[in-house]
Amino acid sequence: MLELRLVQGGLLKKVLESIKDLVNDANFDCSATGFSLQAMDSSQVAVVALLLRPEGFERYWCDRNISMGMNLNNMAKMLKCAGNDDIITLKAEDGSDTVTFMFESPTQDKIADFEMKLMDINSERLGFPEADYHAIVRMPSSEFARICKDLSSIGNTVVISVTKEGVRFSTRGDIGTANVVCRQNTAVDKPEEATIIEMNEPVSLTFGLRYMNSLTKATPLSNTVTLSLSSGLPAVVEYRIAEMGYIRFYLAPKIEE
Amino acid sequence: LKSQARIARFFQAS
């Protein structure tokens, strides 16, 4: 059986909000490594990888590896019924085709349980190749989301280029062009406001803004975002979830025909 | 001309 008690229940709500538009159905895997998910978006352009480590849970009990297939829209509907401050517990009995979400208010005066049907999902485990990235950019997640949103009102794709100058986000559309350059900036009051650029060699990749905008829905999970870029490889857009793990999006670039 | 790559081409299924 499985029982996972997460005091910061709001975090699971945010996780679902950040992936439910990208992925319809996915297997949540529960093992000694943690509560994880790996899924490809329906248009096969992006992969989501989530890990919530056992240490982040007040109670983390699963006596064997369990994979639970869930429709993420339905799961999001259920989690929307939990308050942002609620404690969320997931429970599943061995061999059961349902999972129960229990929501407790912080003062313990309201307890709700929602039972959701599980589904069978055949999904291949993907092998993520080890890569040395040409450039790694860490920046405030809100700034990255703002840039993607702004550029998507001008064009459909974004070219992300890292040079000695900084990281450049460019787009082009019927009404004109737009360029936003962020330079390395570590002279900030708080570390999460810094922009840090590690460049081994210059890199320039093109991505669909629709996907970029979709994955910036993870912004509430972390103050910072890390972009790892290499020519001809998917970008890795990572939001670290404080003390618990991460949500990573692998986004395929557009390639020359 | 750039076309959208499918993500699977980058990952070996394991």
pLDDT tens-digit series, residues A114-143: 999 999 998 777 887 778 899 999 999 999
Confidence (pLDDT) at B14: 44
Chain B CA closest to residue A250? B7
Q: Is A121 exposed, middle or buried (0-12, 13-18, 19+ CB in 10 A)?
A: middle
SS3 A23: coil
How far CA A206 is from CA of A18, A47, A58, A59, in Å, comes to 22, 17, 42, 43
Tokens 């394991």, residue located: B14
Q: A interface toward B at CB cutoff 8 Å?
A: 40, 44-47, 124-129, 157, 206, 208, 233-234, 250-257
- Evaluate if residue A214 carries a pLDDT over 60: yes
How far is Cα A82 from Cα A12, in angstroms, rounded to an integer? 10
Q: A31 near A62, Cβ under 8 Å?
A: yes
Sorted by sequence, the CB contacts under 8 Å of residue A95 that are 6+ apart come out as: none
Confidence (pLDDT) at A125: 77
Average pLDDT over residues A74-78: 97
Question: Interface pTM (ipTM) of the complex?
Answer: 0.86
Tokens 């248009």, residue located: A43
Q: Which of B2, B7, B12 sits opposite A234 (nearest CB)?
A: B7
Average pLDDT over residues A52-64: 96
The H or E element spanning position A18 is helix A9-19
Confidence (pLDDT) at A157: 97
Chain B CA closest to residue A205? B2
- Evaluate if residue A183 carries a pLDDT over 80: yes
Sorted by sequence, the CB contacts under 8 Å of residue A107 that are 6+ apart come out as: none
Average pLDDT over residues A64-89: 96
Confidence (pLDDT) at A66: 94
pLDDT digits (tens, 9 = 90+) for B1-14: 789 999 988 886 54
Q: A100 near A42, Cβ under 8 Å?
A: no
Chain A residues within 8 A of B7 when measuring between CB atoms? 40, 44-47, 234, 250-252
Give percent of chain A with pLDDT exceeding 90: 91
